């Protein structure tokens, strides 16, 4: 029984993989940006505004397969051998991700009746780049080996699976303390897609099998599509990188490829020391209608060679017609159809949940009393993170230790298991200098000794101006 549980646990762990996971920021209520991860999180300030362009800088990159160092280390090894190793070691479910966010502005303030300001409004605008690409294993094998050593192997066309989006997000959130135990929150989001490219729904296969009339039958069955919005117009003649950036900047506010989404969340204080919370982020969509250009390849064809002397010609068909018909079949099969059909993309929904235990009240020498409402200096907890991705959801499990080192200085240490690695240790720090709050957090800190060999790295930092609660 124990063994079975152990197995289930390990299967679960082996499915874990995370990206965009902000395990350090989640639940870090001293940092206002934690409300972006859980709109129903605890609020510890009366108001704040983020230092424009500096309030949240976040970058996260990861690979579940080969690292940059695996391939590009200057170690004198033959690059092609390293490439071969990478191709054979990686699977079609291995992926590469990049996620970057930059807050352009943000702010928030508490409001309510005269006696208790139990509501909090927060708002802001941020830019986000999100890229995920799965390793196209079968395409790589076909390009690397060809079909000679792969007779009867079905090359799966769905291995081509990638998406990239550059968006801006304008958001307003409300947080309400319902009673002593429960806090709930909601955030509405208006997405503007600056650029979008995706190819996540490919189907079909290519296989070479032994033939009847000839050595081989080559069977093509292809249904591939790449959809883009906001890209066709950038490739205009005379476009420079400068003009492109200018064009993109305009789209942050005035681009018609818009979408809507919501975040919801809650915090529930079970006892004085135990607390649970949870949130769902980015339940939303973007509708792409302007500047859309899609590329599609589809068709079925079985080729077994040509019969030059006894062509199976139809009535009145000459041998030349027969040859042309075969050529047309191939041209049709690989012809790229372009369309401007509008499409909708769904944002990757993210789940966060945690169970927390606070302990260790601070004792003061000068009096036997507690200062402040939250007297506990330490907290430990378990966090679960999940994100919906094109092929399968990715998850991560984090344990953490949180400590108020000094008044105005908090730290959080996390240990995270995901399929990038089983040894992801992160460190976060938030410090207040008067009204100025500064935070910095990085995970996988042990991999920073050679960042190119890291399976994943994530770094975020920012500056805010805080209006504190009058605690004493």
Partner 1 sequence: MFSFKSTMFIKVFKYLIITLIIVLVSTSCTKEVDFNQVNNIQLTPVIESSLVFINEPANRFLVNGTEISGLQDSANIDVFNDEFVIDYLEKAEFLFQTTNSINRGFQVQVDMLDDFNQIRHTFSFSSVASPDNSDVVNEHIEVFEGNFLTALKNTTKLVFTLNILSGEPINQSTPGRIILKSKGTFYLNIQP
Question: Contact residues for partner 1 (CB under 8 A)?
Answer: 68-69, 71-74, 78-80, 83, 142-149, 151, 208, 211, 213-218, 303-311, 319-320, 323, 405-409, 427, 429, 431-433, 438, 440, 442, 445, 448-453, 459
Residue among 78 and 242 whose Cβ is closer to partner 1: 78
Please report how close the Cβ of residue 317 comes to partner 1 at its closest, in angstroms: 13
Residue among 315 and 406 whose Cβ is closer to partner 1: 406
Please report how close the Cβ of residue 205 comes to partner 1 at its closest, in angstroms: 17
What token pair was written down for 458?
A: 């994530």
Please report how close the Cβ of residue 322 comes to partner 1 at its closest, in angstroms: 9
Please report how close the Cβ of residue 147 comes to partner 1 at its closest, in angstroms: 6
Residue among 238 and 308 whose Cβ is closer to partner 1: 308
Residue among 181 and 210 whose Cβ is closer to partner 1: 210
Residue among 318 and 393 whose Cβ is closer to partner 1: 318
Residue among 146 and 372 whose Cβ is closer to partner 1: 146
HEC per residue, 311-359: CCCCCCCCHHHHHHHHHHHHHHHHCCEEECCCEEEECCCEEEEEEEEEE
Cα dihedral 25, 33, 348, 351, rounded to 10, equals: 50
**Cα angle at 275 between 274 and 277, to 5 degrees?**
160
- Those residues with Cβ within 8 angstroms of residue 302's Cβ, 6 or more apart along the chain or in another chain: 217, 218, 219, 220
Please report how close the Cβ of residue 83 comes to partner 1 at its closest, in angstroms: 7
Please report how close the Cβ of residue 406 comes to partner 1 at its closest, in angstroms: 6
Which phi and psi angles does 431 have, rounded to 5°? Answer: -135, 140
Residue among 267 and 414 whose Cβ is closer to partner 1: 414
Residue among 217 and 289 whose Cβ is closer to partner 1: 217
Residue among 343 and 438 whose Cβ is closer to partner 1: 438
Please report how close the Cβ of residue 193 comes to partner 1 at its closest, in angstroms: 31
What single string gives the DSSP state of each residue in 134-157? E--HHHHHHHHH-SGGGTT--EEG
Residue 363: Cβ-neighbour burial (10 angstroms; 0-12, 13-18, 19+): exposed
Alpha carbon distances (Å) from 465 to 42, 105, 436, 439: 18, 12, 5, 12
Nearest-angstrom CA–CA distance, 181 and 275: 9
Residue 254: Cβ-neighbour burial (10 angstroms; 0-12, 13-18, 19+): exposed
360, 378 in Cβ contact below 8 A? Answer: yes
Nearest-angstrom CA–CA distance, 464 and 104: 12
Please report how close the Cβ of residue 43 comes to partner 1 at its closest, in angstroms: 23
Residue with tokens 């490439």: 83
Residue among 222 and 275 whose Cβ is closer to partner 1: 222
Please report how close the Cβ of residue 242 comes to partner 1 at its closest, in angstroms: 25
Question: Under DSSP, is residue 114 helix (H, G, I), strand (E, B) or coil?
Answer: coil
215, 158 in Cβ contact below 8 A? Answer: no
Please report how close the Cβ of residue 354 comes to partner 1 at its closest, in angstroms: 24
Alpha carbon distances (Å) from 431 to 27, 107, 376: 16, 18, 18
């Amino acid at each position: 029984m124990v063994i079975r549980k152990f197995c289930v646990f390990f299967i679960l762990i082996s499915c874990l993989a995370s990206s965009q996971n902000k395990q350090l920021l989640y639940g870090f209520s001293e940092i206002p940006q934690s409300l972006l991860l859980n709109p129903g999180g605890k609020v510890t300030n009366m108001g704040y505004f983020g230092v424009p362009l500096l309030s949240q800088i976040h970058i996260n990159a990861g690979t579940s397969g080969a690292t940059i160092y695996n391939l590009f280390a200057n170690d004198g090894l033959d690059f092609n051998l390293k490439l071969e190793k990478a191709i054979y070691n990686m699977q079609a479910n291995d992926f590469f991700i990049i996620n970057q966010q930059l807050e352009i502005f943000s702010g928030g303030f508490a409001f309510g009746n005269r006696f208790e300001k139990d509501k909090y409004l927060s708002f802001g605008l941020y830019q986000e780049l999100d890229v995920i690409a799965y390793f196209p294993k079968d395409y790589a094998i076909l390009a690397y080996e060809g079909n000679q050593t792969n007779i009867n192997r079905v090359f799966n066309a769905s291995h081509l699976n990638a998406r990239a989006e550059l968006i801006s997000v304008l958001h307003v959130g409300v947080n309400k303390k319902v009673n002593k135990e429960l806090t709930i929150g909601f955030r509405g989001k208006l997405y503007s897609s600056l650029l979008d490219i995706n190819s996540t729904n490919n189907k079909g296969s290519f296989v070479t099998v032994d033939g009847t009339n000839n050595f081989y039958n080559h069977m093509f069955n292809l249904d591939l599509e790449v959809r883009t919005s906001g890209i066709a117009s950038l490739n205009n003649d005379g476009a420079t990188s400068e003009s492109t950036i200018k064009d993109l900047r305009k789209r942050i506010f005035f681009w018609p490829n818009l979408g809507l989404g919501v975040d919801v969340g809650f915090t529930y204080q079970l006892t004085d020391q135990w607390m649970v919370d949870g949130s769902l982020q980015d339940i939303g969509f973007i509708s792409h209608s302007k500047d859309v250009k899609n590329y599609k390849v589809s068709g079925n064809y079985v080729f077994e060679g040509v019969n030059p002397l006894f062509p199976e010609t139809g009535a009145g068909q000459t041998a030349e017609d027969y040859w042309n018909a075969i050529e047309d079949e191939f041209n049709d099969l690989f012809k790229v159809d372009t369309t401007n059909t509008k499409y909708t993309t769904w944002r990757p929904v993210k789940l966060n949940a945690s169970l927390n235990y606070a302990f260790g009240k601070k004792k003061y020498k000068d009096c036997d009393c507690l200062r402040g409402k939250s007297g506990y200096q330490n907290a430990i907890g378990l966090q679960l993170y999940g994100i919906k991705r094109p092929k399968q959801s990715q998850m991560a499990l984090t344990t953490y230790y949180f400590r108020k080192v000094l008044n105005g200085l908090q730290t959080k240490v996390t240990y995270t298991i995901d399929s990038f690695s089983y040894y992801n240790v992160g460190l976060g720090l938030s410090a207040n200098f008067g009204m100025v709050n500064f935070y910095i957090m990085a995970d996988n800190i042990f991999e920073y000794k050679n960042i190119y060999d890291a399976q994943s790295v994530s770094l975020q930092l920012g500056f805010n101006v805080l209006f504190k609660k009058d605690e004493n």
